[in-house]
């Protein structure tokens, strides 16, 4: 194929971010395409696919022959919030076993840290206090609730159940998981929360879920937690949480503790109270870091299949917003 006829795959990143790592990962897997940065794609008519993460708003509207856009992360709200994205353009979510395993590892780590009261022992070590009288129930006596039963939520639920925790899940639409009690919709949310001692949020960010983690929700959580109150763990999206409400809930005892990997503003501002709150653990949106090599392989396989006339997998339902 003549160089001027080759399709282009564009890697679109926020201003100031270097797309070089992703370009290097994609090029050897897509030898019949030109893989370029957003700024380098001046021949806009040849751009057939875009690989994006928080791209500049409106930047994709200048490509008239786009066939699909791929998210570089599990979330797609950064794409759906772009008003200039063509309505008929397929948006593909990344579903990758490596990404899923990384998230499950993080979820299990923080559930266990709260369950076994690791933060307490860290403080006791710092203060040189030898005390072994903290309550240590069996995992089977601890009720964990997973909000969001997509691929990551289901994997986390199964792995926590394998460790012995009493796990239940909630989703907007009904889901069935072998051996795990599930709830769905508005009618199921209250009963789900009432049995949940440790709440894990892995929800996508949609118009229906924005701000869902608020005081009204925290008040419905089970009050019989062995660590003195409910625990919140959020690795979904920052827009899910009302951050002022989280701080209020912690100060008023509606929440005993929280682990937060995502925030309304990222990087987390230096002025945020979360940095120094004694009941909060902050991680820098790294619960499931996208591996360029594994994600590039997923995207390249999808593009090659699409070029062969096969349907794309994991296409976002724009009505459901995930």
Q: Which residues of the chain have pLDDT under 50?
A: 1
Check residue 2 and give its pLDDT.
55
Q: What is the pLDDT of residue 264?
A: 97
Q: Are 259 and 284 in contact (CB under 8 A)?
A: no
Strand order in the sheet with 91-92: 34-37, 8-12, 47-52, 68-71, 91-92
DSSP secondary structure letters along 218-229: HTTS-S--TTSS
Two structure tokens written together for 223: 């009050």
Q: What distances in angstroms separate CA 78 from CA 235, 291, 317, 318, one per listed residue?
A: 16, 19, 15, 13
Q: Which of 208, 279, 257, 216 is nearest to 237 (CA)?
A: 208
Using CA atoms, how far apart are residues 37 and 41, in angstroms rounded to an integer? 6
Note the pLDDT tens digit of each residue in 16-35.
Answer: 899 999 999 999 999 999 99
- DSSP string across 167-205: EEEEESS---BTTBEEEEHHHHHHHHHHT-SEEEE----
Gap between the Cα atoms of 231 and 200, Å rounded:
8
Residue with tokens 């998230």: 103
Please tell me the distance from the alpha carbon of residue 89 to that of residue 92, in angstroms, as a whole number. Answer: 10
Sorted by where each starts, the structural domains of the chain and their CATH numbers stand as: 3-94+290-307 (3.40.50.720), 99-282 (3.40.50.720)
Q: What DSSP character marks residue 260?
A: E
Measure the CA–CA gap between 13 and 34, rounded to whole angstroms: 17
Identify the residue whose tokens are 């005892």: 253
pTM of model > 0.85: yes
Distance in angstroms (rounded) separating the CA atoms of residues 132 and 152: 35
What pLDDT score was predicted for residue 124? Answer: 95
pLDDT at 257: 98
Q: Which of 202, 213, 223 is nearest to 158 (CA)?
A: 202
Catalytic residues: 237, 285
What is the CA angle 295-298-304, rounded to 5? Answer: 135
């Amino acid at each position: 194929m003549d160089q001027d006829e080759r399709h282009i795959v564009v890697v679109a990143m926020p201003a100031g971010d270097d797309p070089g790592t992703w370009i290097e990962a994609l090029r050897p897997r897509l030898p019949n395409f030109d893989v370029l940065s957003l700024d380098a794609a001046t021949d806009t008519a040849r751009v057939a696919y875009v690989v994006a993460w928080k791209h500049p708003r409106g930047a994709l509207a200048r490509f008239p022959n786009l066939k699909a856009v791929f998210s570089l992360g599990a979330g797609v709200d950064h794409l759906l919030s772009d008003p200039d994205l063509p309505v008929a353009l397929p948006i593909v979510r990344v579903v990758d076993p490596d990404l899923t395993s990384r998230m499950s590892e993080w979820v299990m780590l923080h559930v266990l840290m709260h369950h076994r009261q690791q933060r307490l022992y860290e403080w006791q070590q710092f203060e040189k206090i030898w005390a072994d009288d903290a309550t240590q129930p069996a995992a089977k006596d601890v009720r964990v609730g997973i909000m969001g039963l997509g691929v990551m939520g289901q994997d986390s639920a199964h792995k926590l159940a394998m460790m012995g925790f009493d796990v239940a899940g909630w989703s907007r639409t009904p889901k069935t998981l072998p051996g795990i009690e599930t709830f769905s919709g508005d009618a199921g949310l209250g009963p789900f929360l009432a049995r949940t001692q440790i709440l894990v949020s892995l929800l996508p960010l949609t118009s229906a879920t924005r701000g869902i983690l608020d005081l009204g929700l925290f008040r419905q959580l089970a009050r019989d937690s062995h660590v003195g109150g409910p625990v919140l763990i959020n690795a979904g999206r920052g827009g899910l949480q009302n951050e002022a409400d989280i701080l209020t809930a912690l100060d008023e005892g509606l929440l005993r503790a929280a682990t937060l990997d995502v925030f309304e503003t990222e990087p987390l501002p230096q002025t945020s109270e979360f940095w120094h709150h004694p009941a909060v653990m902050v991680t820098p949106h790294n619960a499931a870091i996208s591996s360029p090599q594994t994600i590039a392989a997923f995207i390249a396989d999808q593009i090659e299949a699409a070029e062969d006339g096969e349907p794309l997998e994991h296409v976002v339902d724009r009505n459901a917003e995930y």
